[in-house]
Amino acid sequence: MRSSRGPGQRAGLSRDRVLDAATDLLAESGAVTMRAVAQRLGVAPNALYSHVADKTELVDGVLDRVLAQVDAPPLEPGGSPGDAMHRLMTSTHGVLIRHPQLVPAFLARQGARGANARHLGAVMLEHLAVAGITGDAAREALRVLIVYTIGFAAFDGAPDERPVPHSELRADFDRGLHWLITGIIESVR
Amino acid sequence: MRSSRGPGQRAGLSRDRVLDAATDLLAESGAVTMRAVAQRLGVAPNALYSHVADKTELVDGVLDRVLAQVDAPPLEPGGSPGDAMHRLMTSTHGVLIRHPQLVPAFLARQGARGANARHLGAVMLEHLAVAGITGDAAREALRVLIVYTIGFAAFDGAPDERPVPHSELRADFDRGLHWLITGIIESVR
DNA sequence: ACCTGAACACCGTTCAAGT
DNA sequence: ACCTGAACACCGTTCAAGT
């Protein structure tokens, strides 16, 4: 368990293993620090810098892994685009509140920019296009929906003296999301 | 400028002066740390603990001071409650994006709980009551509006590679806020 | 290229002591 | 009661060195 490794001896790290450790650590303890990730991997803190530029890049990597859990069903021919958007954002909200420690990072990055985030954004834009909303209007609408979703997730993860129950916050989120999507779709009619 | 004070000598601190220093520091450097506040006051870092329980309490104090800047005009007899709510939340949004470093703290606290925050909430509930929305429905609507406003402020303060211009984010905020308020008011008709 | 050891410049907070 | 000095247990990151 101690350091059975001298200088120069490989520990078998990789970028993937570092991200794995960080993701696990987040799920278990809720906090991610360079030193804790290193400890979990049994290496010196600075060993991580061979596989990750800095903490920001590490957090970005974890963010995109978490976003992979969002359920983004592809466009259905006969379905309602409003319903599809509602489902996608609700799934995103669910994933976020299961990882409250990452929500501030999502906010600071305006919603992440990894591959999974881009995919989710593209799916949303498809739904908006079906609803007749394209170009700048679509990007604005998407930004509003993302802000709302992440904002509510941030609210949920926050500790409070008299905390609002999760179920109630979920209902609030759903109601507001309905107002937003209705407003977005009706703005084009 | 150095410590011309020995142990036992008073520095003339007070809770107000500590909060003043923290507020100024935030406005200038954007970051608030115990040690930086102490340095600005010319005292040892731990001297602050005679006037403030911990960093959380200090940040809470700063938060409420900033919220005092929000313009909350009282209820007008003939005016539209939707417009009044729109103006109040827009003013709040403006104050928040002028203090981007505090926005994460606002999120973590679900929108602050000081005297000013309570006053703003009460004014909003008055407007909602005029619109015919009371009780749980009013509290839900208020929570949705607060989340949206703080969430958008968080988005605004975030650094990004290709940053969305402030003016554009303001327009997005305004549009989404309109959708929300319209949805809230129409939900009761 | 990958890792260690040591160090730097930070944090918030506590404890004992002085007046 | 209010403040200092010293210390503790943390951070992220860098630099030189070893294989």
pLDDT digits (tens, 9 = 90+) for A62-120: 999 999 999 988 888 889 999 999 999 999 999 998 887 788 788 777 677 788 999 99
Output the pTM of the full model: 0.84
Average pLDDT taken over every residue of chain B: 87
Chain B contact for A134, CB < 8 A?
Answer: no
Q: How far apart are CA B7 and CA B4, in angstroms?
A: 10
Q: Which residue of A has its CA nearest to B156?
A: A110
Restricting to B residues 19-58, those with a Cβ less than 8 Å away from any Cβ of A are: none
Chain B contact for A174, CB < 8 A?
Answer: no
The answer to whether B108 contacts A159, with C-beta atoms less than 8 Å apart, is yes
The answer to whether A110 contacts B182, with C-beta atoms less than 8 Å apart, is no
Question: Strand C positions with any atom < 7 Å from protein CB?
Answer: 1-7, 10-19
Q: Which residue of B has its CA nearest to A156?
A: B110
Instruction: Give the pLDDT score at A20.
Output: 96
Residues near B173 by beta carbon (within 8 Å), at least 6 away in sequence: B90, B93, B149, B152
Q: Which nucleotide is nearest to B9 (CA to C1')?
A: D3
- pLDDT bin (cut points 50, 70, 90) of residue A157 is low
Residues near B132 by beta carbon (within 8 Å), at least 6 away in sequence: B188
Distance in Å, alpha carbon of B1 to nearest chain A alpha carbon: 36
User: Contacts by A22-31 with C-beta closer than 8 Å and gap 24+?
Assistant: A22/A58, A22/A59, A22/A61, A22/A62, A23/A62, A23/A65, A23/A66, A26/A62, A26/A99, A26/A101, A26/A102, A27/A99, A30/A100, A30/A101, A31/A101
Q: How far apart are CA B33 and CA A12, in angstroms?
A: 38
Tell me phi and psi for residue A50, to 5 degrees.
Answer: -80, -15
Q: How far apart are CA A20 and CA A51, in angstroms?
A: 12
Alpha helices in chain A (DSSP H): 15-29, 34-41, 55-67, 81-97, 103-108, 115-130, 135-157, 166-186
Joined together, the tokens standing for residue B108 give: 């973590």
Q: Is the pLDDT of residue B58 over 50?
A: yes
